[in-house]
Amino acid sequence: MCGRYASARKKHELLEEFEVELDGAPDQELGADYNVAPTKEVYAVMSRVPKIEGARAVRQLRVVRWGLVPSWAKDPSIGSRLINARIETVGDKPAFRRAFASRRCLLPADGYFEWMPTEDKKKQPYFIHPADGGVLAMAGLYEFWKDPTRADDDPLKWLCTCTVITTTAEDDLGRIHDRMPMMVERDRWGEWLDPGMPDPAHLLVPASPGRLVAHPVSIAVNNVRNNGASLIVPVEGEGNGSANNGNGGTLF
C-alpha cells in the first residue's frame, strides 16, 4: 500500500512541470508537506471539460482530499478506508470503477514511505524516491461527493477526493513492502488524464529497475504530527544490506 508520502514542491513548480493551463491553477497554495497522510489535502493534476457546449478538456491542478469518497457514499468517512486502489481490481470494484473509466489523475510526490520489518520485530521506515530527484507522477483517481446536509450555494457542498493506484512491488523494492504506487510516465500523461480514453490500463507500468532509490529514515515519520525535511534525511548506520548508490540511497 501507499499510506504516506512527501510533497514539498511549490504550486508554481507543479504548474510548470505538469503543463497546467493558465485557467487551471487553483487559488489555494499548499505548504511543503514531508509527511502526507490520509485525509490531508494534496495536489492532483486532472483534465476537466468545462460545462460549455463544444469545450475541450482543460488540464488543471486541484487541491483534493486523500481518501476517495464515492459519489454514492452516505457520508465521507468511507474515504479513510479508500486511500489505495489495487490495479488488479480497480476496474471492477464499485468504489473505483466509475472513476477509473473517466476520472483519472496524477498525484505529484517527491517520494513515498514504506516500512520494513527488522529482526527485532520493529519496522524501519524507508523513503523511496526517483534516483534523478525528479517528481513522481503517481497514478490516481478522483471523485466528487455531494454533501446532502449543505445548501446548494455552500462552497463546501462538493468534496473532491482521491486515491492512489498501487501494484506489486518489483523484486528489490518488494523486500521493503510488497506493494508500491503505480507510476505514469511523462509521455503517457495526456492519455491517462484524457476522460475520453476508454481503456487506460495499458498506460500503467511499474517503475523501471534503477528508477527509484530507497534509504532508511528516522522513525519520527511514524507520527503524522511530525513534519519537515528532516523526515527524508538518510539515517546513518541503518539499512537492509542492499548495495548503496554512493549518495546515501539504496539503488533498486
Strands 33-36 and 5-7: antiparallel
First to last CA, the chain: 18
* Helix spans in 24-104 (H): 97-102
Query: Cell digits for 160?
Result: 473532491
Q: Is 114 a catalytic residue?
A: yes
Among candidate residues 105, 114, 143, 162, the one labeled active-site is: 114
Helix (H, G, I), strand (E, B) or coil at 101: helix
Helix (H, G, I), strand (E, B) or coil at 102: helix
Residues 6 or more apart from 249 whose CB is under 8 A from it? 129, 131, 213, 214, 215, 234
Amino acid (1-letter code) at residue 180: M
Among candidate residues 2, 105, 160, 162, the one labeled active-site is: 2
* Residue numbers annotated as active site: 2, 114
